[in-house]
C-alpha cells in the first residue's frame, strides 16, 4: 500500500491522502488495474480541493465561484491587528479597515463582521432584541443560501412587525407600527430585495421617507455599492448600475445604519459591514455576538487594501470594477484573438450579468467564444478548470470575466478539445 501511494507522489497530494486513494483502489479493482484506479482516485481527491478556476460564465459576481475575484498577497508576519503602535497599548481591530470603510461611506463609524447576514443579525440583536422591527411585507425575502429575513430576525431576538402588503407599502404603514405601543418598535428595516422584484401595481417607501420616523432606520443595501457617483471610475457610473442603492447616499438620505456585503459590488473578500451613527455602531461593537462574528487579520487586511484603492480613486486596481468597465469592442478583439489562436470556435456577442443577487434582469453587452455542442465537462476537467455557460446546444465562453492573462490558457484548452 505504501509503495502504491508513493507512486502517486507526482499528483502533489500529501501522503495520507494518497494512502486513502490507494486503499479505495485496492478495495474495488483487480490487481492489474489497481495503479490506474489509485491515480484516478488521487486526481478526484485533488479536484475536491479549493483551487483557482477560470470564470467564463460572464457572471461577474458568481456565488459558486467566490463572487468578487480578489488578489491578496501577504507575507508570513505578525500584524498590528489589536495593537496601537503609537502608545504600545492594546488597540482595536475596528480602528483600521472599518475606519476606512466609514470614511468611504460618509459614516461616523463602522464595524466589520464575517458576512452580510452577520451584519444584519448583529445590528438587530444589538439594537432591537426583545422589541419590534418594522419591515415591509414586500421585503421579507429569501436570497441565495437560504438567507430568510424573518428567520435572521428571529435568531437576533427581535420581533418582526410586518407593515403594508406584498406589493404596496406606504409611509403611513410604518408610522402606524411605530405608534403602536403593543409593537414596541425599536427600528425600521429597509431590505434590498436582491434577485427578487415585484412589478406592476406596486408602491414602496424609500430611505429618505423612512428617515422621518421616530425610530432609527437600518438600510440593508446588500450588494455593497459604496457611492452611486462611482468616483473611482474615470467615466462615472455605468448605465447598468442605475437604481442600485449605495451606502453613501442611503446615509445621506437619513439611514441611521447601512449594512452590506464585502464580496459583491465592493469587490473585496467575504465580509459584512455595518456603518453609520457612532452610538449605534458602538452598541454593535459591545454586543457579545460581535466577538463571535468578527473576522481575522487576513479578511481585514484585504478589506483595507480594497478600501485604499477606492480612496485613491483607482477602480482599475479593483478586479471587479476592471472587468465591469471593459467595453464590448475590447472583448470582441480578445475573442477574435482566442479563436485565431485556438483554431476553433466562433466569436459571438454575449450578455454578462452582475450576479450575486445584484441588479436582477440587468445585462451588460459583452463578447466571447462560442463552441458547438456541450463542451463544459471537458473544459471543467482541464487545469485550470474553465467554467462556461451552456445553452441552445452551444458552449459560451464570455471573456468579460476571464482575466486577459488567462486568454492563453483558454486558447490551450480549446486546442485540446480538438
Alpha-carbon distance 322 to 302, whole Å? 17
- At 361 the pLDDT is 82
Q: E strands within 315-393?
A: 346-355, 364-372, 386-387, 389-391
pLDDT of residue 209: 97
Q: What is the DSSP string of 41-97?
A: HHHHHHHHS----EE-SSEEE-GGGTSS-------S----TTB-TTT-SB--GGGSH
Query: What residues does 396 pair with on adjacent strands?
Result: 370, 389
Q: What per-residue confidence (pLDDT) applies to 146? A: 65
- Cell readout for 21 is 486513494
pLDDT at 80: 94
Q: Return contacts of 148-154, CB within 8 angstroms, 24+ apart.
A: 149/120, 149/189, 149/191, 152/117, 152/120, 152/121, 152/124, 153/124
Q: Does residue 332 contact residue 347 with C-beta atoms inside 8 Å?
A: yes
C-alpha cell at 412: 490551450
Instruction: Cell numbers for 38, please give them.
Output: 489509485
Q: Is 194 left (phi over 0), alpha (psi -120 to 50) or beta?
A: left
Q: State residue 149's pLDDT score.
A: 85
Alpha-carbon distance values, 300 to 7, 93, 104, 111, 303 (Å): 42, 8, 15, 11, 5
Cα–Cα distance for residue pair 379/414, rounded to 1 Å:
8
pTM: 0.93
Cα Rg of the chain (Å, integer): 25
pLDDT, residue 371, reads 97
Query: One digit per residue, pLDDT tens: the chain, 418 residues?
Result: 889 999 999 999 999 999 999 999 999 867 888 999 999 999 999 999 999 999 999 999 999 999 999 887 788 899 999 999 999 999 999 889 999 999 999 999 999 999 999 999 999 999 999 999 999 999 888 766 667 888 888 999 999 999 999 899 999 999 999 999 999 999 999 998 776 777 888 899 999 999 999 999 999 998 889 999 999 999 999 999 998 999 999 999 999 999 999 999 999 999 999 999 999 999 999 999 999 999 999 999 999 999 999 999 999 999 999 999 999 999 999 999 999 999 999 999 999 999 987 887 899 999 999 999 999 999 999 999 999 999 999 999 999 999 999 999 999 999 999 7
Cα separation, 271 vs 54, in Å, equals 23
What structural domains and CATH numbers belong to the chain? 2-48 (no CATH), 54-69+326-417 (3.90.1150.180), 93-313 (3.40.640.10)
Q: Which residues contact 204 (CB under 8 A, 6 or more apart)?
A: 136, 138, 168, 169
- pLDDT given for residue 145 in this prediction: 62
- Distance CA(189)–CA(108), nearest Å, equals 19
CA distance 408 to 388: 16
> According to the 3-state scheme, what is the secondary structure of 125-178?
HHHHCCCEEEEEHHHCCEEHHHEEHHHHHHHHCCEEEEECCCCECCHHHHHHHH
Which grid coordinates are listed for 189? 428595516
Amino acid at each position: 500500500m505504501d509503495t502504491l501511494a508513493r507512486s502517486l507522489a507526482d499528483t502533489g497530494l500529501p501522503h495520507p491522502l494518497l494512502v486513502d486513494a490507494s486503499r479505495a483502489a485496492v478495495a474495488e479493482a483487480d490487481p492489474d488495474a489497481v495503479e490506474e484506479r489509485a491515480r484516478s482516485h488521487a486526481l478526484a481527491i485533488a479536484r475536491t480541493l479549493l483551487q483557482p478556476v477560470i470564470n467564463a460564465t460572464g457572471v461577474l459576481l458568481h456565488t459558486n465561484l467566490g463572487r468578487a475575484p480578489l488578489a491578496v498577497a501577504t507575507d508570513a508576519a505578525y500584524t498590528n491587528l489589536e495593537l496601537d503602535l503609537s502608545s504600545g497599548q492594546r488597540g482595536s481591530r475596528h480602528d483600521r479597515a472599518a475606519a476606512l470603510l466609514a470614511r468611504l461611506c460618509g459614516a461616523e463609524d463602522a464595524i466589520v463582521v464575517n458576512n452580510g447576514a452577520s451584519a444584519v443579525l448583529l445590528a438587530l440583536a444589538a439594537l432591537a432584541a426583545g422589541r419590534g422591527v418594522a419591515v415591509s411585507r414586500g421585503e421579507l425575502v429569501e436570497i441565495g443560501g437560504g438567507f430568510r429575513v424573518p428567520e435572521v430576525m428571529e435568531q437576533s431576538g427581535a420581533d418582526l412587525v410586518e407593515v403594508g402588503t406584498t406589493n404596496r407599502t406606504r409611509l403611513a404603514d410604518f408610522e402606524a407600527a411605530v405608534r403602536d405601543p403593543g409593537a414596541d418598535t425599536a427600528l425600521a428595516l429597509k431590505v434590498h430585495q436582491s434577485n427578487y422584484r415585484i412589478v406592476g401595481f406596486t408602491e414602496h417607501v424609500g430611505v429618505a421617507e423612512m428617515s422621518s420616523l421616530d425610530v432609527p432606520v437600518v438600510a440593508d443595501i446588500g450588494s455593497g455599492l459604496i457611492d452611486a457617483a462611482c468616483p473611482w471610475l474615470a467615466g462615472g457610473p455605468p448605465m447598468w448600475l442605475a437604481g442600485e442603492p449605495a451606502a453613501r447616499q442611503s446615509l445621506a438620505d437619513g439611514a441611521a445604519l447601512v449594512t452590506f456585503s464585502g464580496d459583491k459590488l465592493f469587490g473585496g473578500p467575504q465580509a459584512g459591514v455595518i456603518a453609520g451613527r457612532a452610538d449605534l455602531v458602538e452598541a454593535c461593537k459591545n454586543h457579545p455576538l460581535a466577538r463571535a462574528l468578527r473576522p481575522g487579520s487576513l479578511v481585514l487586511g484585504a478589506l483595507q487594501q480594497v478600501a485604499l484603492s477606492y480612496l485613491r480613486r483607482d477602480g482599475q486596481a479593483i478586479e471587479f470594477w476592471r472587468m465591469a468597465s471593459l467595453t464590448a469592442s475590447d472583448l470582441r478583439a480578445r475573442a477574435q484573438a482566442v479563436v485565431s489562436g485556438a483554431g476553433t470556435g466562433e466569436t459571438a456577442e454575449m450578455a454578462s450579468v452582475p450576479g450575486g443577487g445584484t441588479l436582477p434582469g440587468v445585462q451588460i453587452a459583452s463578447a466571447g467564444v462560442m463552441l458547438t455542442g456541450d463542451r463544459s465537462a471537458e473544459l471543467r476537467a482541464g487545469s485550470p478548470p474553465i467554467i462556461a455557460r451552456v445553452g441552445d446546444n452551444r458552449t459560451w465562453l464570455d471573456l468579460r470575466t476571464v482575466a486577459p492573462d488567462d486568454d492563453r490558457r483558454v486558447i490551450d484548452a480549446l486546442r485540446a478539445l480538438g
